[in-house]
Copies of this chain bind each other. A is one copy, B any other.
Amino acid sequence: MLNVADEFNAITEHFSPRVIAMANGQYFKLAKFKGEFPFHSHADEDEFFLVHRGEFTMCYRDREVVLKAGDFHVVPRGVEHRPRATEEAWVMFVEPAATRHTGDAVTEFTKSIAQQISHLA
């Protein structure tokens, strides 16, 4: 598939990243956000987010950023954050291939890279 709506439609689980492309060592991922993800950070990796549909809130320890369809946002490396979505939001994000999406925390949400790219096999 080469269309983000088609790729989103193939996602059946919340907070389960699906890799759609790689370029320059970065993975381009889609996920459906719903609920509250655990706080985590990535020491050496920034994360770029772009909302495709719906809205979600990026929560930091000291502030919150509401992101609606078409809004983009970069979480700088090393900063604790967690996304929260009351209703389902469709989100594209971009991060280095090495990034673990739950950071150093291993939680019920943690998906290995193998799981995230399994549909490409």
**Interface positions of A (Cβ within 8 A of B):** 2-5, 20-24, 26, 28, 45-48, 50, 67-68, 70-74, 92, 94-96
Contact = CB atoms under 8 A, between A and B. Distances in A.
Contact of A21 (B48, B67, B92): B48
Copy number of this protein in the oligomer? 2
18 contacts: A2-B71, A2-B72, A3-B68, A3-B70, A3-B72, A4-B50, A4-B71, A20-B72, A21-B74, A23-B47, A23-B48, A23-B74, A24-B26, A24-B45, A24-B46, A24-B95, A24-B96, A28-B48
Given A28-B48, A48-B28, A94-B94, A73 B2 contact: yes
Contacts of A3: 68, 70-72
A58 to B, nearest CB: 11
A33 to B, nearest CB: 18
A46 B23 contact: yes
A91 to B, nearest CB: 13
Contacts of A48: 21, 23, 26, 28
